[in-house]
Amino acid sequence: MFLRVRLFFWAAFQRDMKIIDTALSLEDLKAMARNRFGILVKAVVDVERKVMAVDGELHSDEEAILLENGSHQRNLWGINIYPELEEKDWIEFDSIINIRPSQGNLSRGVDDPALREKILKIVLNLVKK
């Protein structure tokens, strides 16, 4: 019984997450922020497929939905988007899923500047102002 109830709540809670592969409006992103955390939207970007999962409670939830839909873990990076800030300040590279010593990333951030730039370009391509 406990497992069934737990699975029900997990499934109900996760239904709001979305995989974005086409343009998402900035207004939609702002609404997601207001509805969940107030000022930010958690996202996981697949740098190979150029898609992102958004609107989850945890980066690991978004990572899981991308893995279930064909992504590979080595390509997934967690970020926070602050849609009310100016474009130069609106992405924060901070997620526990980013700690990957096997890939040379030793922090919760994204240590490689080229990879950060790739993530920024993907997000800017997917979020339309």
Q: pLDDT tens digits for 38-79?
A: 999 999 999 999 999 999 999 999 999 999 999 999 999 999
b/e per residue 12-38 (b: at least 16 CB within 10 A): eeeeebbbbeeebeeebbbebbeeeee
Residue 62 is predicted with a pLDDT of 97
Residue 16 is predicted with a pLDDT of 80
* % of the chain exceeding 70 in pLDDT: 88
Residue 8, phi then psi, degrees to nearest 5: -60, -50
Residue 11 is predicted with a pLDDT of 47
Would you say 119 and 45 are in contact if contact means Cβ atoms under 8 Å apart?
A: yes
The whole-angstrom separation of Cα 114 and Cα 122 is: 13
Consecutive H or E run containing 128? strand 127-128
Residue 7 is predicted with a pLDDT of 40
The pTM for the full model equals 0.87
Residue 73, phi then psi, degrees to nearest 5: -55, -35
